[in-house]
Amino acid sequence: MHMGNLSRLSDAESRSLSPENFNGDKGHGGMATHGTGAEAARDLGQGWKISPSVVIEAGESFTIADIAGEGAIQQIWMTPTGNWRFSILRIYWDDQETPSVECPVGDFFAMGWGKYAQLSSLAVCVNPGSAFNCYWEMPFRQRCRMTMTNIGDESMVLYYQVNYTLTTIPEDVAYFHAQFRRTNPLGVKEVYTIADNISGQGQYVGTYLAWGSNSRGWWGEGEIKFYIDGDKAYPTICGTGTEDYFCGSYNFDLGKEEGGYREFTTPQAGLHQVIRPDGRYSSQQRFGMYRWHISDPVRFKQDLRITIQALGWRSGRRYLPLQDDIASVAYWYQTLPSTPYPPLPDKDSLEVN
């Protein structure tokens, strides 16, 4: 659905999952008699915001969605509390036993550093102060199961709304995938792998990077490379620099008089977050950036691998391979079955320090 066909009639049925309607059943919203809002609503009773949220205890998983049949997720809104790296979002399609989405919730919504930054784009919006919104369309043919796992040491509160449609899915529609990775620090002269072992037919639709600079100077000379359908030593698509891939230019830097790095957020690309040293304990420069391939998806028929170099400058105007802290989320659509992901890093390796 887009602006051009909003006026067209459809047989699709709208449904919504939230703590006020856990199963999304028609005509069953707001029926709760107990929940996190019950005490506040004690004078008002049923129908007055009795169950607006859930509490997920440390070490526990909560099923946000378990939808049988054919349809598509159209929008996700949620406001998780606690450490966003310690809340793991997983989504399973149809009869697959391994998740097609597996990602710390902050990184999935391009907030990998655990701090709010305004993000206004077509696919993801983050609004004050922890309002995570996702507009990636996520079709399914048999089942959609979505969970949140709290790997932290304290309970978390989750408000959420998952809006979806029950409708017929065309044969040529693929399944949404998202995978998280982190390397800290990157090895000497190593390239960072955003995604590999993607097998099937589909299209790559987005990249988020949480980049922590572990050295002085500019960090973004590195090229992104897309190895498509059997490419070995050399890729089919090769970028010209990190800021170029994220649709910026010349280090995202307007110069000292203009404040240096300049954040920006647009419908399809942005450097939406710059965390500057505070002169005390916050010593590293940290950046969040996204690039959605909505108008220019990268098509593949058999397989796909994506890497990016971490590259700065050393003396004599020579490139310097960097050993930075890099985390990423890769977003794509593909046919099933999909290749199981490598295990997530352990809790200590996920933590932002």
pLDDT in tens, 65-92: 999 999 999 999 999 999 999 999 999 9
Mean pLDDT, residues 158-169: 98
**What whole-number distance in Å separates Cα of residue 184 and Cα of residue 350?**
10
Q: Is the pLDDT of residue 212 over 60?
A: yes
% pLDDT > 90, the chain: 95
- Is the pTM here over 0.75, yes or no? yes
Please name the residue that has the structure tokens 């400058």.
313
In sequence order, what are the beta bridge partners of 313? 319
3-state DSSP assignment of residue 315: coil
- Does domain 174-336 match CATH 1.10.10.10? no
pLDDT classification of 282: cutoffs 50, 70, 90: confident
pLDDT value of residue 191:
98
pLDDT value of residue 1:
55
pLDDT classification of 5: cutoffs 50, 70, 90: confident
The type of residue at 127 is: N
- Tell me the chain's radius of gyration from C-alpha atoms: 21
Q: Is the pLDDT of residue 105 over 70?
A: yes
* Mean pLDDT (the chain, rounded): 97
3-state DSSP assignment of residue 308: strand
- Residue 288 Cα distances to 139, 285, 330, 352, angstroms: 28, 11, 14, 13
pLDDT classification of 169: cutoffs 50, 70, 90: very high
**What whole-number distance in Å separates Cα of residue 180 and Cα of residue 85?**
11
Q: Do domains 1-172 and 174-336 have the same CATH topology?
A: yes
Burial class (CB in 10 A: 0-12, 13-18, 19+), 108: buried
pLDDT classification of 2: cutoffs 50, 70, 90: low
Query: What's CA 353's distance to the chain center, in Å?
Result: 20
Digit-coded pLDDT (tens) for 26-44 = 999 999 999 999 999 999 9
Q: Which fold has domain 1-172?
A: Jelly Rolls (2.60.120)
Residue ranges covered by each domain of the chain: 1-172, 174-336
pLDDT value of residue 283:
87
- For residue 185, cis peptide bond before it (omega within 30 degrees of 0): yes
Q: Are 328 and 181 in contact (CB under 8 A)?
A: yes
